[in-house]
Amino acid sequence: MEFKLYDTLTREKRVFTPLDPANVRMYVCGPTVYDFAHIGNARPVIVFDVLFRLLRHIYGAAHVTYVRNITDVDDKINARAAEEYPALPLNEAIRKVTEKTDQQFHEDVAALGCLPPSAEPRATEHIAEMRTLIERLVKAGNAYVEGDHVLFSVASMPDYGRLARRSLDEMIAGARVEVAPYKRAPMDFVLWKPSKPGEPSWPSPCGIAAPGRPGWHIECSAMSWKHLGETFDIHGGGIDLVFPHHENEIAQSRCAFHTPVMANYWVHNGFLQVEGEKMAKSLGNFVTIRDLLRDWPGETVRLAMLQTHYRQPLNWTTNGLREAQRTLDLWYELTGDAAPGLLCADTLDAVADDLNSPKAVASLHELRGEAAKGSKAAAGSLKASAQLLGLLQETASEWAGFRPASISIDENKVTALIAARNAARRVKDFRESDRIRDELAKIGVVLKDTKDGTTWEIAR
């Protein structure tokens, strides 16, 4: 089989060839942990989980290393810590905020069916590596010290801007670059800066006496180096990270290690949008993963995400969720607790074609058609193939047992009404049994009469 991946750097879909098939290495920029993550943040997590699953399928689970970092140095974290724990020393308050948020994030993405990455390094645990990189860059003439800051000199790297495909002039015009007295050129970016009062601080590199803190971009260069080496296979994240974050990571890592590339494939997911606009905390148009999980099973949210190709913008709607829910209800009904069968070649080919998840879902619909005609092999194959996308991982009864939190239903009352309806049916009082069915429908309960008795679910 052939596996192709679209690379943002070369702007083409290329056959994937790992540097070392015994250890395929992927780095994805992870969350900044200060509050519940929104469903836009979940898009890269789900997309790269599918890529992780595909790599594990091709190369073997023991031969893939997936690193997703945790950004725990950030102004938003500092602000949240001061607000929530005013009585605590800052470092302790920050730790409390990041630990809590970190745990919430892990619960959320596990519920979305995402495998844990091989490593989840934290920025605060890699300050020494950051200092080493910064000192190397200064020594090599790619960075300079000015006013207790260390800055990367963009002019020192001839092909700076290759990932974003912008000239320096365009970048200056397009970005709201901070003009600061310590910068020699407007596009130079911060590797290290002095900490203000009330900010976390560490001993500075390059003989700077004042304690300071790292810039954002250097974190990922340091953590990918430590966990994956100077050069690795895949670097991923949302499309908003192409510039300046990934452009600057490339500049730092390539100049520090004198390598022609940082990663061989740059993979970026498109935005998850609400009414044509990027979902973002700052715009206030967001819904948290946690809120969605109260009303929808994690797999429904996951399928709603995978119904659009990862590079396309994805419009987030309740209709998309409803459609995913109906699809999964059908799939679970047909596969039940059957053992996974053979992985379908069409599903695998679709996922291996630059993660074409909508095409993979179409192949699953075809399997469902076969299974509906009674093919046991197709049912087993549907299950195995859906699992490549991280779907159909629950038992049929777990799936049927999900109850949305926003619809409160008295389960005892439902059970009693079903018993009364069964009694009416036994004496052929169909008026009464229909009346009870309608009464249940009014409170949002749909009955299903099967050969094993009557089950119920919530209407959506």
Of 12-51, binders to Zn ion (CB under 5 A) are 29
Residues from 217 through 246 that contact ligand AMP (CB under 6 A): 237-238, 240-241
Q: Which is nearer to ligand AMP, 305 or 379 (CB)?
A: 305
Return the SS3 of 350: helix
Q: Which is nearer to ligand AMP, 321 or 348 (CB)?
A: 321
Of the ranges 103-111, 202-210, 218-226, 255-263, which one interacts with Zn ion (CB under 5 A)?
A: 218-226
DSSP 244: I
Site stretch for ligand AMP (CB under 6 A), options 25-33, 96-104, 380-388, 392-400: 25-33
Which of 314/371 has CB closer to ligand AMP? 314
Per rule CB under 5 A, is residue 250 in the interface with Zn ion? no
- Binders of ligand AMP among residues 106 to 145 (CB under 6 A) are none
Helix, strand or coil, per DSSP, at residue 362:
helix
Backbone angles phi, psi at 403, to 5 degrees: -125, 120
When the beta carbons of 242 and 272 are compared against Zn ion, the nearer one is 242
Contact 19, 63 (CB under 8 A): no
How many residues touch Zn ion under the rule CB under 5 A: the total is 2
CB of 151 to ligand AMP, least distance (A): 22
Minimum separation from the CB atom of position 3 to ligand AMP (A): 22
Residue number with CB closer to ligand AMP (189 or 271):
271
Residue span binding ligand AMP (CB under 6 A) among the ranges 112-120, 174-182, 278-286, 293-301 = 278-286
Pick from 5, 262, 279, 382 the residue near ligand AMP by CB under 6 A.
Answer: 279
Sequence-distant (≥ 6) Cβ neighbours of residue 172 within 8 angstroms: 186, 187
The interface partner of residue 437, options being Zn ion, ligand AMP, none and the CB cut-off 5 to 8 Å by kind, is none
Both structure tokens of 168 = 């320096």
In the complex, the smallest distance separating the C-beta of residue 44 from ligand AMP, rounded to whole angstroms, is 4
Q: How is residue 17 written in tokens?
A: 């060839």
What is the separation of C-alpha 97 from the centre of its chain, rounded to a whole number of angstroms?
A: 21
User: For residues 257 and 238, what is the distance between their CA atoms, to the nearest angstrom?
Assistant: 25
At 320, list the tokens. Answer: 């998309």
> Whole-angstrom Cα distance, residue 243 to residue 239?
8
Distance CA 427, CA 421 (A): 10
Handedness of CA 269, 273, 278, 283 (dihedral sign): negative
216-228 and 247-257 helices cross at what angle (nearest 10)? 50
Of residues 37 through 76, those in contact with ligand AMP by CB under 6 A are 40-41, 43-44
How far is 121 from 129, CA to CA, in rounded Å?
12
What residue ranges bind ligand AMP (CB under 6 A)? 29, 31-32, 40-41, 43-44, 237-238, 240-241, 269, 271-272, 278-280
